[in-house]
């Protein structure tokens, strides 16, 4: 499964924390888009899709949430709850986010602009694409 947990260097001191996300240092792709998810309810599930080509890195800069990750053969759950830790998700990985804490702010860096055509939002279509080896990753 094309995923990786990346631990960022903390530059915090007695004034507070600071983490820098930098191309060619701790981000493994050219950043073309940044978005963030907030005001989520604890009983909702988001995601429920895979990407054909998009590479992303997510950081729970505040609070926590759970990621279910699935490459069609294996499933894995990861809880993001640390502002100095990122989750890289490559193409061909189904993701579902749940158990958002009330204060959760999820920052996402992406290697391309928004393109609905890059999404596979139907789980059976995702499995078919994996079996037909149509996905990058």
Please identify which of the residues 33, 48, 49, 62 carries the catalytic annotation. Answer: 49
56 near ligand T46, judged by CB under 6 A: yes
The closest alpha carbon to 119, from 80, 137, 92, belongs to: 92
Cα→Cα distances 35→19, 109, 112, Å: 17, 7, 12
66 near ligand T46, judged by CB under 6 A: no
Stretch that binds ligand T46, among 3-11, 29-37, 73-81, 127-135 (CB under 6 A): 29-37
Give, as one character, the DSSP assignment of residue 41. -
Which tokens belong to 54? Answer: 């998009």
Stretch that binds ligand T46, among 19-27, 30-38, 78-86, 129-137 (CB under 6 A): 30-38
Which tokens belong to 71? Answer: 């490459």
114 near ligand T46, judged by CB under 6 A: yes
Which residue bears the tokens 């590479």? 55
Using the rule CB under 6 A, which residue among 10, 18, 23, 35 binds ligand T46?
35
Minimum CB separation of residue 12 from ligand T46 in Å reads 26
Told to judge if 51 belongs to the known catalytic residues of this protein, a careful annotator would answer: no
Using the rule CB under 6 A, which residue among 28, 47, 63, 137 binds ligand T46?
47
Cα→Cα distances 39→62, 63, 81, 99, Å: 11, 11, 16, 13
Q: Active-site residues: which are they? A: 49
């Amino acid at each position: 499964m094309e995923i990786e947990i990346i631990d960022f260097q903390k530059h915090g001191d007695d004034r507070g924390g600071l983490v820098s996300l930098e191309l060619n240092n701790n981000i493994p792709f050219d950043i073309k888009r940044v978005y963030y998810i907030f005001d989520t309810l604890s009983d909702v599930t988001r995601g429920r899709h895979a990407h054909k080509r998009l590479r992303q890195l997510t950081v729970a800069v505040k609070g926590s949430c759970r990621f279910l990750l699935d490459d069609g053969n294996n499933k894995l759950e990861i809880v993001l709850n640390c502002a100095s830790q990122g989750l890289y998700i490559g193409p061909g990985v189904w993701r579902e986010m749940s158990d958002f804490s009330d204060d959760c702010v999820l920052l996402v860096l992406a290697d391309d602009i928004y393109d609905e055509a890059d999404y596979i939002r139907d789980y059976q279509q995702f499995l078919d694409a994996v079996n037909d080896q149509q996905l990058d990753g």
